Amino acid sequence: MFREYTKALFKRVDARQLMQFKPPTLPQRIYTKTLTIDNAHYGAFCQEVDWPVSQHPHPLYLQMLSLPLQMQCLLDKQSPFPLLGLIHAANKVTVVEHCNLSEPFECRVRFYDVRPHSRGWEVDVMLEALQSGQLVYRAISSYLVKVKAVHVAPLAVKSDMHDDCDMHDRVLIGEICAHANTGRRYAKLSGDYNPIHLSTISAKAFGFKQAIAHGMWTLSQAVSAFVSHQDNAEALTVSEVSCRFKKPVFLPNELHIQQHCKTEASVFLDVTDGNDNVVHLSASLAFTTKE
């Protein structure tokens, strides 16, 4: 995706739309591509994010493969949003039906929604993947566009997805060692060569003191840790993953994966720093288990 980032440097943005009180107009174009899974690439991804041996694909793999399409969408000439400077704020992934990695996926990406945020606008980009004409997968990625404008005002504080949980019941289920080269490794797999992930020097050019881990790498590790922690990991299917990214993970770093409020069909996860003082992301998982 070097070409896309080069285009992003020269993309002209209609800032007037971002300064208005009403939400900016979203382009209607749908970007499509047929993806055929490379088994070696999928294996490398599973090794990178510690996915256990399972009859079910990692629920975030297709979302990662859709990144080039997402970037094409964000670079649409009618889009008022700058690609560089976007903050990955949230994700919601739904595995509608079993995804057969031996069959091609027809992927469709488009702008889905935009809404006010206390720091600007939050815009959604949606991926839908079909096999044999049937929807099997949907992923919505939310990005924050920071804008200093008169219409931007603090919103009422939203309840956190964990507000109803007893945080003292958290259980440590995994530890992650995020090495200094983690961003470069994941960039090679995902194609996401955003400079903020590659080195301290390139990250500082965009206002970060150090390189930061890709949010989807951290989330993928958390999902893997939960599945690996289960006695019946091979029979467990993760059907939905919802996540809000809160604090960047500076590289290198030691992280803890905590679970709480687990039921027969859902669980909440937090990824914290090694001292459990900083929450980097909060996620909820829905899952089913075959008897």
Q: Residue 207's CB: how many other CB atoms inside 10 A?
A: 8
C-alpha closest to that of 182 among 2, 50, 8: 50
The CATH class for the domain spanning 2-289 reads: alpha beta
C-alpha closest to that of 16 among 82, 86, 80, 87: 80
pLDDT tens for residues 25-80? 899 999 999 999 999 999 999 999 999 877 789 999 999 999 999 989 998 888 88
Q: Return the structure tokens found at 87.
A: 């903050």
Give the integer Cα–Cα distance in Å for 8 and 71. 9
The residue written with tokens 């998982």 in the block is 285
pLDDT score of 152 more than 80: no
The residue written with tokens 């200093």 in the block is 148
Residues 142/112, Cβ–Cβ less than 8 Å: no
Give CA angle at 275 (159, 173), nearest 5°: 75
Cα-based torsion angle of the residue sequence 184, 64, 287, 269 in order, rounded to the nearest 10 degrees: 40
pLDDT tens for residues 195-222? 899 999 999 988 889 999 999 999 999 9
Residue type, 192: D
Residues 213/178, Cβ–Cβ less than 8 Å: yes
pLDDT at 149 (0 to 100): 64
Beta strands in 120-235 (DSSP E): 120-131, 134-146, 171-178
Task: State residue 172 phi and psi, 5-degree precision.
Answer: -75, 120
**pLDDT-derived band of residue 169, with 50, 70 and 90 as boundaries?**
confident
**pLDDT-derived band of residue 103, with 50, 70 and 90 as boundaries?**
very high
Sheet holding 87-95, edge to edge: 31-35, 105-117, 120-131, 134-146, 87-95, 236-245, 279-289, 266-273, 253-260, 171-178
Q: Return the structure tokens found at 62.
A: 């297709």
Residue count (the chain): 291
pLDDT at 10 (0 to 100): 47
168: Cβ contacts below 8 Å, ≥ 6 apart: none
C-alpha closest to that of 195 among 182, 179, 209, 211: 211
